């Protein structure tokens, strides 16, 4: 092996391949002249030198070589392209990185699967219209805190007497929401926040910790002037039994938080809160709204390993043009919880109804509504047939590349067939990643969800088939990033047209486009949506209007 390595490190020899026809055309005397140098003629006559040179086969061979070399350069050949066709093995080439080679092959396969080299059958107007971004109306991120907030911050970050412990639950997007609330509650109480504890998810069994999913150093650094973040309780408080609160009502105000918890945390030094989901009001003072945006959009950054893979998959989707990301909510538990039916077949509908009867506690929707009533008021996820019709009506070209996020749908690949038949360039993380890239995250549902989040957020167009925490988080992030296109399906108003089988397709498409012309990610003022989360609608609390700037 050592010998082989030395050979590779030795000075490389270059060879010039001369076609056999040229060799055969040379006489034996010409070949001999290439091997034996002729005697020099010392004549000073220019004519004799010219005559001698013209008769010299070496000159002719050199001229032929130059002519061939110039031709190769003019054709844009690369000398490296000759290597694969060489009949001789090159042991040095075999020492190239295996990982790079496999990755390049994978990227080539993905590009080939996309058929991106084939001409599009869609008109340029259709393609440009679908990928067109909304007008950001000059809104840009703006997190200017008041002078009073900054003065209070100087005192708070130095305090060493009060600590807030929080346990967050649910999927990754639900956990993000609770982490945002935890930071704001710590600010309200003037307490240091111990890095949130992620409760083991009972459905997926994911035991990941905060630092496994999020960049802890970045989290602490960004919030250094707002709330003191510590990795663990100091030794002075380790033996303190924390006051535990499990009964915080929904949508409480900062005043309620102070009146309920401030005396207790001042007395005991440690407060433990669980189940923070939607416990804090969405209508907060301006500085606290800005803090929510700062945590959600700037402090909560995924861990480097997750970010690296997510960005890599996004780049593979972006490599040959724009792409659409779909968040499909078609998993079995979604159909059970929403009280809806997948519409795949009678067998699958009965399966969902049976599971719902067996475990009624899973039903989160209003139990006094029938499936049909829920469907008509827009409370059910769209199935694959409805998503396909909606995308076609909105002008999505057949050649559109689609990344789909979410768990495996009930019914497997068959449930997705209406989409894949109409939009064949249809991928998820398993299609884009090499097996060894996903292997470290295989049993980590939070990691997989985070990768879906990154690829979806970086897409040119995003659309969820149903609401949910991930869709809301991406909506706010895309707004904060300059109002990138986000399609909100207008289910309540469009479904009656879906049921009208006699309507001409052109008329159906016109109506669907009209219903969605204001639901494409344009700025929406939260002031007209009281009770809505600022991390979903960051205008106007977290974004300023500048008439001279447009984020398109």
Least trusted range by pLDDT, from 39-53, 199-213, 314-328, 422-436: 39-53
Rounded mean pLDDT, 420-434: 96
In DSSP terms, 401 is beta-bridged to 323
Q: Report the chain's C-alpha Rg in angstroms.
A: 33
For position 244, what pLDDT does the model report?
85
* 3-state secondary structure labels for all residues of 69-123: HHHHHHCCCCHHHHHHHCCCCCCCHHHCCHHHHHHHHHHHHHHHHHCCCCCCCCC
Least trusted range by pLDDT, from 3-17, 41-55, 383-397: 3-17
Q: Write the CB contacts of 328 (distance below 8 Å, at least 6 apart in sequence).
A: 381, 384, 387, 404, 405, 406, 409, 416, 465
- pLDDT for 206-256, tens place per residue? 789 999 999 999 999 999 999 999 999 998 888 777 888 877 899 999 999
For position 56, what pLDDT does the model report?
59
323 has a pLDDT exceeding 50 = yes
In the chain, % of residues over pLDDT 90: 58
Mean pLDDT (the chain) is 80
For position 357, what pLDDT does the model report?
86
- pLDDT for 50-81, tens place per residue? 444 445 556 556 666 665 655 554 444 433 33
Rounded mean pLDDT, 475-479: 97
Q: Which domains does the chain have, with CATH numbers?
A: 147-299 (3.40.50.11340), 304-548 (no CATH)
For position 105, what pLDDT does the model report?
39
Split at pLDDT 50, 70, 90, the class of 435 is confident
Least trusted range by pLDDT, from 39-43, 171-175, 487-491, 497-501: 39-43
For position 365, what pLDDT does the model report?
62
Tokens at 268, concatenated: 């005991």
Rounded mean pLDDT, 476-493: 95
For position 85, what pLDDT does the model report?
28
Q: Write the CB contacts of 536 (distance below 8 Å, at least 6 apart in sequence).
A: 472, 473, 475, 476
- Are 314 and 322 in contact by the 8 Å Cβ rule? The answer is no
């Amino acid at each position: 092996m050592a010998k082989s390595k030395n050979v590779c490190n030795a000075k490389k020899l270059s060879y010039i391949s001369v076609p056999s026809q040229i060799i055969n055309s040379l006489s034996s005397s010409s070949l001999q002249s290439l091997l034996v140098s002729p005697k020099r003629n010392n004549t000073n006559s220019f004519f004799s030198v010219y005559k001698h040179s013209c008769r010299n086969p070496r000159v002719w061979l050199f001229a032929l070589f130059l002519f061939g070399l110039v031709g190769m350069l003019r054709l844009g050949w690369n000398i490296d392209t000759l290597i694969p066709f060489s009949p001789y093995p090159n042991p040095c080439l075999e020492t190239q990185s295996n990982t790079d080679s496999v990755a390049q092959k994978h990227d080539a396969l993905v590009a080939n699967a996309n058929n991106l080299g084939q001409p599009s059958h869609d008109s340029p107007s259709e393609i440009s219209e679908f990928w067109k971004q909304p007008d950001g109306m000059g809104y840009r991120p703006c997190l200017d805190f008041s002078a009073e907030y900054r003065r209070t911050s100087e005192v708070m970050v130095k305090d060493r007497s009060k600590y807030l412990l929080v346990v967050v639950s649910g999927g990754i997007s639900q956990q993000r929401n609770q982490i945002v609330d935890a930071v704001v509650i710590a600010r309200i109480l003037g307490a240091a926040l111990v890095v949130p504890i992620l409760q083991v998810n009972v459905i997926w069994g994911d035991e990941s910790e905060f630092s496994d999913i999020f960049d802890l150093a970045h989290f602490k650094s960004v919030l250094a002037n707002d709330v003191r973040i510590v990795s663990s309780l100091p030794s002075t408080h380790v033996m303190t039994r924390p006051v535990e609160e499990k009964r915080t009502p929904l949508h409480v105000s900062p005043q309620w938080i102070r009146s309920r918890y401030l005396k207790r945390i001042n007395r005991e030094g440690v407060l433990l809160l669980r189940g923070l989901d939607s416990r804090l009001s969405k209508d907060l003072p301006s500085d606290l709204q800005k803090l929510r945006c700062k945590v959600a959009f700037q402090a909560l950054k995924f861990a480097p390993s997750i970010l690296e893979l997510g960005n890599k998959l996004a780049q593979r989707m972006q490599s040959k043009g724009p792409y659409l990301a779909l968040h499909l909510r078609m998993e079995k538990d979604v159909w059970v919880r929403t009280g809806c039916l997948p519409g795949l077949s009678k067998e699958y509908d009965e399966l969902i109804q049976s599971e719902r009867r067996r475990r009624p506690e899973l039903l989160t929707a209003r139990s006094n509504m029938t499936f049909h009533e829920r469907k008509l008021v827009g409370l059910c996820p769209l199935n694959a047939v409805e998503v396909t019709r909606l995308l076609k009506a909105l002008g999505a070209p057949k050649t559109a590349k689609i990344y789909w996020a979410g768990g495996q749908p009930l019914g497997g690949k068959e449930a997705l067939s209406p989409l894949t038949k109409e939009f064949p360039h249809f991928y998820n993380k398993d299609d884009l990643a090499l097996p060894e890239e996903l292997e470290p995250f295989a049993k980590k549902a939070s990691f997989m969800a985070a990768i879906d989040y990154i690829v979806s957020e970086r897409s040119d167009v995003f659309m969820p088939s149903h609401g949910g925490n991930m869709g809301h988080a991406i909506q706010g992030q895309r707004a904060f990033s300059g109002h990138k296109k986000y399609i909100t399906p207008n289910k309540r108003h469009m479904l009656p047209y879906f049921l009208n089988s006699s309507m001409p397709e052109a008329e159906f498409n016109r109506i669907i486009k009209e219903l969605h012309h204001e639901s494409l990610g344009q700025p929406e003022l939260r002031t007209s949506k009281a009770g809505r989360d600022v991390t979903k609608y960051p205008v106007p609390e977290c974004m300023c209007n500048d008439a001279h700037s447009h984020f398109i």
